[in-house]
Amino acid sequence: MKEKVIIITGASSGIGLATAKELSCKGLYIIGIGRSLERCAQAEQEIRALNPDAKVQFLIANLASLEEVSKLAEDIREQLAQDGLKHIDVLINNAGTVSSWYISTVDGFELQFAVNHLAQFRLTYELLPLLKQSDEGTVISVSSGSHYRTKIHWKDVMLRKRYNCLLAYKQTKLANVLFMSELNRRLKSAGIKIKAFAVDPGLVNTNIGLKGTGGIVKKVWEIRSKSGTPADQPAHCITWLATEPDARKTDKIYWKDCSPLNPSRYSQRLDVAERFWELSERMSGIRYEGRMTSWIPS
């Protein structure tokens, strides 16, 4: 049987790490991505402590840079090749960040937009050929309930003039749902078997709100996150979508606690999804078109 290969971004802490642990304990082959060598080494150790036979590797990349994202894809291909593998079954785009400040990335984008959305958009594009080699190719984006009650701010997508941490964050989580919905549509019409899902983790007790924040945002998160569920809970839903054949049978996009939910109505608008897709292509300097064929070069 083919080895089941899983890529998880943001696997060095929080939901990503919990997911890596659960999947690893099922004996799957995992490549985790993080930005800090130290935290990745620590995460790897934790996984090995749970499962001494874990097939897990960590790769380092700062997902705020598109160049690093494409370099990461290169590293992933290399790592797989070293282990005699030529496919990816599941890509879990989980890495996410919150920033109190408008920070401009090396590409000139706002940090949250770059890490939470553009990195997913670009990495998925880069890894699509490998996902096509799997019989059960799956892309999962870790979105959030904060995608409800917001929209894309077309006139100033990166909110340069009216940046607000939460507004920016909500928009990126909406971007995740838009991306997964549109990806699904495009894959389907191209006759490609890959499935795309968005996951709503609920409120989870992680440190995400403490890392790039200060002042009130940080204080609020310190208090609020305590009432969140442990990261194992969303990890379980992600694991279920990644491994359960039944999950692939539905046409539902948006999942929470292993059940489908309706995502916001705005996120299901075809015109919005298409327009946002084109914008994302321009911003990340790619065109999916050429990769949207069911034909696989051998």
187 binds, among ligand NAP, another protein, none (CB under 5 to 8 A by kind): none
Which uninterrupted H or E stretch holds 196? strand 195-199
Among the listed residues 11, 16, 1, 3, the one whose alpha carbon sits nearest the alpha carbon of residue 80: 3
> Contacting ligand NAP (CB under 6 A), which of 12, 150, 243, 284?
12
Q: Are 93 and 139 in contact (CB under 8 A)?
A: yes
Type of residue found at 17: L
DSSP designation for 2: P
**Chain positions contacting another protein, by CB under 8 A:** 62, 64-67, 97, 99-111, 158-163, 210-212, 214-215, 282-285
Say how far apart CA 93 and CA 120 lie, in whole Å. 6
137 binds, among another protein, ligand NAP, none (CB under 5 to 8 A by kind): none
Say how far apart CA 16 and CA 231 lie, in whole Å. 8
Q: Among residue numbers 68 through 87, which ones bind ligand NAP (CB under 6 A)?
A: none
DSSP designation for 40: H
State the nearest-atom distance from the C-beta of 297 to ligand NAP, in Å: 30
Continuous H helices in 36-159: 37-50, 66-82, 111-112, 119-132
> Contacting ligand NAP (CB under 6 A), which of 201, 238, 267, 277?
201
The answer to whether 266 is a known catalytic residue is no
32 binds, among ligand NAP, another protein, none (CB under 5 to 8 A by kind): none
Catalytic position from the list 29, 125, 169, 288:
169
Point out which span in 21-29, 30-38, 188-196, 260-268 binds ligand NAP (CB under 6 A). 30-38
Binding of ligand NAP at residue 96 (CB under 6 A)? Answer: yes
Residues acting as catalytic residues: 169
